[in-house]
Amino acid sequence: MVFPERGLSAREALLVLQDGSFFSGRHFGSEKTAVGELVFNTSMTGYQEALTDPSYAGQVLTFAYPLQGNYGINEKDSESRKIHVEAVVCRESSPFYSHYSSKETLSEWLHAQHVPGIDGVDTRSIVSKVRERGVMPCAVAVRDERIPVEEHVAGLLEKVNSFAYSNLDFVPLVSPKKAERFSVKGAKKKVAFVDCGAKASMLNELLKRKLDVTVFPYDASAKEILKEGVDGVVFSNGPGDPARMKGTVETARALLGKKPVFGICLGHQVLALALGGKTYKLKFGHRGSNHAVRNVETGKVFITSQNHGYAVKDLPSSVKPLFENCNDGTNEGLRHRELPVFSCQFHPEGSCGPKDSNYLFDEFVKLL
């Protein structure tokens, strides 16, 4: 068991919500003040993967599972080069870790990447509030003991009220700036991977299947993609409102019928819009690794990893639903009735798990 030299701070921290309520807890990580959209994740493990998922850009992540950081932070489980959440909220952040591969504590990692955290708060109450009232802007800050708490809360509330998640474009911040090629020995097919804020595990699943992959930024045109001579196209996950991604939607529309297309999470929403469907914001989204979905073609149920705040509706007659959420009945995937086009709202790479729907990458390969 490893005990780090620096544990958690004894300083008080505040979580201030847009409805005027606030929670007092203990600070850990960075001492900066953060503002973002308050959401929650129901996973029992995988905090490192979640915090480095670009889909969380602009959000303050509350973990419903009470203990976080107990197995530390290692060098291989991150899904991108940095933490993307604005702040972390949990019941208890462990000041030590006990895994052989870990190099630092959760608090040390957050501190190094300038991300604040607050623990010692009633996360059950926070999750219940978000479920009842929906996601909302919030702020996390170290308590300024020089001023009355009510005054500090009022100052943070001003920052909170000036934040509007749906009005911001997060995809340009997390998508690569230029195309990059990844080759594997023995590859017989080549695919384009439109990175709207992708998890590294998605790229790895494609490479595992002996595919050469060219990663394109979110604003790549259909002409640029087809010029690469690819056999198929994947649109990745990512943050923000899909309705703001008009250029990416147009690219997807231009590729329909030309190449097989597979959309994942935000990519699913982009495809739905390209095909004539609509998207809307969910009250509190689906975030966690324990969401059940049903394949409407076979009736089989899968446990999936999810991270999204928007959903698809009003699909045109040219496509049929492929999956549905077992909890609220929302659409979780589509398949075109004639073209080699399909998608899923969840994360089939399942990092850190589960792997139930991993077979969808094989289904895509069969279309190439």
Sketch the domain layout of the chain as residue ranges. 12-167, 171-367
What pLDDT is recorded for position 86? Answer: 98
Crossing angle of helices 266-274 and 246-255, in 10° steps, is 70
Amino acid, res. 318: S
* Separation of alpha carbons 97 and 199, rounded Å: 25
Can you read off the two tokens belonging to residue 261? Answer: 């297309």
CATH topology of domain 171-367: Rossmann fold (3.40.50)
> Given this model, what pLDDT does residue 8 score?
54
70 DSSP 8-state letter? T
CA angle 200, 164, 108 (to 5 degrees): 45
Contact 297, 269 (CB under 8 A): no
Question: Which pairs with CB-CB distance under 8 Å and at least 24 residues apart come from 329-336?
Answer: 330/282, 330/286, 331/272, 332/293, 332/304, 333/268, 333/293, 334/268, 334/271, 334/272, 334/275, 334/277, 335/297, 336/256, 336/275
Contact 231, 259 (CB under 8 A): yes
Give the whole-angstrom CA distance, residue 9 versus residue 17. 22
Q: Which residues of the chain have pLDDT under 50?
A: 1-7
* CATH no., domain 12-167: 3.50.30.20
The pLDDT of residue 4 is 43
Q: What is the DSSP letter of 114?
A: T
Q: For residues 78 and 56, what is the distance between their CA atoms, to the nearest angstrom?
A: 13
CATH topology identical between 12-167 and 171-367: no
Active site residues: 265, 347, 349
Q: How far is CA 181 from CA 146, 190, 213, 347, in A?
A: 54, 10, 6, 23
Q: What is the pLDDT of residue 5?
A: 42
The token pair that represents 187 in the structure block: 């590859």
Q: Which of 272, 277, 266 is nearest to 310 (CA)?
A: 266
Give residue 86's Cα distance to chain centre: 13
Query: Computed over its alpha carbons, how large is the radius of gyration of the chain?
Result: 21
- Residue 102: both structure tokens together: 């870990």
For residue 9, the model assigns a pLDDT of 61
Beta-carbon neighbour count of residue 133 at 10 Å? 15
